[in-house]
């Protein structure tokens, strides 16, 4: 069970006002809010442990290193990776995807095929398009249906012996739809293709088990999980990480360096060139501790109730259309009202203290599919309430009346 009063006290920002109105924060799909315990971890690091890691014999360096590597183990256990060295700490999901795409430049040949879904964030489209331009590989797309689901019959027809990589988001950031990644992974593996799953939108709501999924790469960002910005993870199976070349050259990722030849360090350091976001990595571990203490089953159940309530109340508004209507969804509602531009509604809602996201949500192909300029996206978290949804609905009705 969620103790909502206790949880809301953990998030100091929820006490502030915006435009003299109590803040209603419904932009959680863009970034989650940060509990005090994570903020305290950040302050504690810079107050008591600030030193570079893996390089110093002095006490501060050793203490910082221990805390950083402890966080890596927390992340490993959370995602159930087989080994801690299969967790590469990055600056976020986009960085993680680009690391894998860059690595495959050495593994692809002309006319090899890679498959992406129509529901992807731009960060899981553009790197692969760039890869195709460099290698001559061919990009194929799993189409979507009007309800936002992927056309899996078409996917099954696309996969063949030429398929080398398949990539898909676990949950659509624009629509909140949960994709059938188990089926996608299983089919790709029948032809020996690698699979990368973008878990940025799934991980705040679902606790993925990368071994049970048998996924080759899984990526996510801390700032969607009550952690800080500027840190994320790339999980990769050992055999795949060893196949890929380093993404960047520099300190930490080397074994030996001479002007004649450089040899690279083992995993995970091979992919972690330079000084990392040490504080961010440590705070990421704290954020996972916090969310696991709340409990992901509790989070999923509570957010499902918010989703059902919000959907029911929104559909009472005349002319409102929701995009993404499959049963398997996280707590995201993407919608428009009549012919009113989503940006205009978003501006008025902000004046009333309500934070929602408007636009194409870095998923322009989805908006092109629906032939719309964008949507209003309300995304809920386990620290939101039905009372906030009521305020949102009342404010939305006011905005619609003003713009009609």
Distance CA 297, CA 120 (A): 26
Give CATH for domain 39-292: 3.40.640.10
Distance CA 99, CA 94 (A): 9
- Give yes or no: 362 in active site: yes
pLDDT at residue 266, as a whole number: 78
pLDDT at residue 272, as a whole number: 87
Give span(s): CATH 3.40.640.10, the chain.
39-292
Does 259 score more than 80 pLDDT? no
Residues 6+ apart with CB under 8 A from 397: 317
Query: pTM of the entire structure?
Result: 0.95
Average pLDDT of the chain? 95
Q: For the residues 297-317, what does the mean pLDDT come to?
A: 98
> Quick one: DSSP state of residue 121?
-
The 10s digit of each residue's pLDDT in 218-243 is 999 999 999 999 999 999 999 999 99
Strands 163-169 and 113-117: parallel
Q: Where are the alpha helices (DSSP H) in 224-295?
A: 238-243, 278-294
The 10s digit of each residue's pLDDT in 121-174 is 999 899 999 999 999 999 999 999 999 999 999 999 999 999 999 999 999 999
CATH class held by domain 4-30+295-403: alpha beta
CA 210 vs. chain centroid, Å, equals 15
Distance CA 286, CA 73 (A): 12
DSSP 328-340: SB-SEEEEEETT-
Does 256 score more than 70 pLDDT? no
Distance CA 152, CA 361 (A): 24
Distance CA 198, CA 170 (A): 6
Distance CA 71, CA 311 (A): 37
Q: For the residues 205-211, what does the mean pLDDT come to?
A: 97
% residues pLDDT > 90 (the chain): 90
Q: For the residues 342-364, what does the mean pLDDT come to?
A: 96
Give span(s): CATH 3.90.1150.10, the chain.
4-30+295-403
Distance CA 382, CA 330 (A): 12
Q: For the residues 309-324, what does the mean pLDDT come to?
A: 98
% residues pLDDT > 70 (the chain): 96
Which residue out of 132, 226, 279, 362 is catalytically annotated?
A: 362
């Amino acid at each position: 069970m969620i103790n909502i009063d206790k949880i809301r006290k953990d998030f100091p920002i929820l006490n502030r006002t915006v435009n003299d109105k109590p803040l209603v924060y419904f932009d959680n799909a863009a970034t989650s809010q940060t509990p005090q315990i994570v903020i305290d971890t950040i302050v504690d690091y810079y107050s008591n442990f600030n030193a570079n890691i893996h390089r110093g014999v002095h006490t501060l360096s050793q203490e910082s290193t221990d805390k950083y590597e402890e966080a890596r183990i927390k992340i490993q256990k959370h995602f159930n990776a087989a080994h801690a060295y299969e967790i590469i700490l990055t600056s976020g999901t986009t960085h993680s995807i680009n690391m894998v795409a860059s690595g495959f430049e050495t593994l692809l040949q002309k006319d090899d095929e890679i498959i992406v879904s129509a529901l992807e964030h731009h960060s899981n489209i553009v790197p692969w398009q760039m890869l195709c331009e460099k290698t001559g590989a061919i990009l194929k797309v799993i189409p979507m249906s009007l309800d936002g689901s992927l056309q899996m019959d078409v996917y099954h027809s696309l996969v063949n012996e030429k398929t080398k990589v398949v990539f898909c988001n676990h949950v659509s950031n624009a629509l909140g739809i949960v994709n059938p990644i188990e089926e996608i992974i299983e089919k790709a593996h029948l032809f020996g293709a690698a699979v990368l799953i973008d878990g940025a939108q799934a991980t705040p709501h679902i606790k993925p088990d990368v071994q049970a999924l048998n996924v080759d790469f899984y990526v996510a960002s801390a700032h969607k999980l009550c952690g800080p910005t500027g840190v994320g993870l790339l999980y990769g199976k050992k055999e795949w990480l060893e196949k890929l070349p380093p993404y960047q050259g520099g300190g930490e990722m080397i074994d030996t360096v001479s002007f004649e030849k450089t040899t690279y360090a083992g995993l995970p350091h091979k992919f972690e060139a330079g000084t990392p976001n040490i504080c961010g990595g440590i705070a990421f571990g704290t954020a996972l501790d916090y969310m696991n203490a709340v409990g992901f089953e509790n989070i999923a159940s509570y957010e499902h109730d918010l989703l059902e309530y919000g959907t029911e109340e929104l559909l009472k508004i005349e002319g409102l259309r929701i995009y993404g209507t499959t049963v398997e969804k996280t707590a995201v509602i993407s919608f428009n009202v009549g012919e009113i531009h989503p940006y205009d509604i978003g501006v008025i809602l902000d004046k009333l203290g309500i934070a929602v996201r408007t636009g194409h949500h870095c998923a322009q192909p989805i908006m092109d599919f629906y032939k719309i300029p964008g949507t209003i996206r309300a995304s809920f978290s386990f620290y939101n309430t039905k009372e906030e949804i009521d305020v949102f609905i009342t404010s939305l009705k006011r905005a619609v009346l003003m713009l009609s």
